[in-house]
Amino acid sequence: MPGETAPPCTIVFSNINFVVLGVLCVFGFLYYVSVFCVIVPWLSYSVPGITNMGVLTLTTGVSLYCYLFCVLLDAGRAPSDYDPDQEIAKVLEVKRKDHHCPWTNNCIGHANYRAFFLFLIYVNAALLHVVGLLGAHALHILQTSHMQRVLRTGPQAKPVQLAGGWIGSVWLWAVLQLVAFGIALPLTIGLLLLFIWHVQLVGVNKTTIEYQEGVTASINAAASGVPLDQVHTHPYDLGVYANLMSIFGNNPAAWLLPPLAPTPGGTSYPTKWDMPMGGPDHEEREAKLLGLVA
């Protein structure tokens, strides 16, 4: 909202634990196998090879940046002197707990949710790329003569003869790629499902806690005989475009850019009853209400 500031951009290295280090190791392992066991020996430094390497490096780098953003920076919290005016506010929402993510060893809140959502976009792009590369290369190896010990490159590149011994054997590379595929495939499925769920949450402007509370309210209403259409609607659902603006900002061209600082605000949010109902200055008043312009 106008006048609200972002949480201090303080890096908390104590959030790095063994789980976070394990995630970082997975990042490094999948990238190493994809580049140095698949792209370089198979496609060489041809145009397809450079293109694949560049795209994978971009998606992996941005997803790693967003992940570390969620790990190291504060998720946002109400100021110690925060006291909302209950008479003015049409909706007063009180949460009893934060949403702590064990994979980041940090909470996912207002200040870092944009980074978290972008992480889901880029990490899924990177994982789909990795699974595609590993799968295509596996099919290629199955079609290559084992006796010739050849990992053939692209149409205009020369075949690569692997050296003798264990280090240069096809079997070592096959084991590395099999392990990488076994890690990447379930990760891709799981994170794709998580991404789809958060797309649905963003579409109606809900947090995970609000979603869980809504499910509980629906169950209680059904148990008490209250029709579902009489259960209260979510007051913060402003429409898809306004919901996206409240998370990513008012410039769609910058929505996919990784954040440089925690998202400001977080102590008050407009509801559907606060939104202007048409008029020549509808869009400007809507943007002001969302805290996107002064």
- C-alpha angle with apex 180: 177 to 182, nearest 5 degrees? 110
What's the pLDDT at 158? 47
Beta bridge partners of 132: none
Task: Summarize pLDDT for 274-294 with one digit per residue, the tens.
Answer: 766 554 455 555 555 555 443
Question: How much of the chain, in percent, has pLDDT values that exceed 90?
Answer: 35
What's the pLDDT at 209? 79
Q: What letters, b where the CB count within 10 A reaches 16 and e where it falls short, cover 206-221?
A: bbeebbeebeeeeeee
Instruction: Name, in order, each residue with C-beta under 8 angstroms of 19's C-beta and a sequence gap of 6 or more.
Output: 102, 103, 105
* pLDDT of 154 higher than 50: no
Q: What are phi and psi of 125, to 5 degrees?
A: -60, -45
For residues 245 and 210, the model is more confident at 245
* pLDDT of 20 higher than 70: yes
For residues 25 and 148, the model is more confident at 25
Task: Summarize pLDDT for 34-52 with one digit per residue, the tens.
Answer: 998 889 888 888 898 999 9
> What does the domain layout of the chain look like in residue ranges?
13-264
* pLDDT of 166 higher than 70: no
Helix (H) or strand (E) holding 187: helix 170-204
* pLDDT of 122 higher than 70: yes
Helix (H) or strand (E) holding 289: helix 282-289
Q: Residue 62 CB: number of other CB atoms within 10 A?
A: 20
What's the pLDDT at 188? 97
Q: What is the pTM of this model?
A: 0.80
Q: Residue 227 CB: number of other CB atoms within 10 A?
A: 8
Question: How much of the chain, in percent, has pLDDT values that exceed 70?
Answer: 66
Q: Is 115 exposed, middle or buried (0-12, 13-18, 19+ CB in 10 A)?
A: buried
Q: How confident is the model at residue 145 (pLDDT cuts 50, 70, 90)?
A: low
